[in-house]
Amino acid sequence: MNFGQIINLVHKRCLCSVLVLCPFFLLLGCSNPLDLEENKVSFDGHYFSSKITQNKTDNRYFALKVRRASRSLSGARDAGRYEATRFCIKNFGTSDVEWVLGPDDENVGLTGKILKLSGKCDV
């Protein structure tokens, strides 16, 4: 093997490496699957954590708590509506929520810094 053939072989290997690694690094740079913040949704400029508790006798009914709702009551209401819709879609395949104490009710208030809502998935 002469010097020209060796150089040609090195160039081919480098080109193959670049063609394989470039798409890999491009895909890696698009998103980070380990980043939990990526899937959060903000409401009124704030992030709210929430917890849904399913009724044990009738699993269509739920109670929902939105924490740190004192930062933005309208944002907390939207976050509660969003979480209830996600819950109903995940468990029953419908986005219809029939509210017992809903985010649009006038008498919905804060208990400390927590917004409490309740309803049922309309199936």
Query: Mind spelling out the 3-state secondary structure of 3-41?
Result: HHHHHHHHHHHHHHHHHHHHHHHHHHHHCCCCCHHHHCC
Q: pLDDT tens for residues 32-45?
A: 555 555 567 899 99
Query: Is the sign of the CA dihedral 8, 14, 18, 24 positive or negative?
Result: positive
Low-confidence ranges of the chain (pLDDT < 70): 1-7, 9-39
Domain ranges for the chain: 3-29, 42-121
Tokens linked to 112? 């400390």
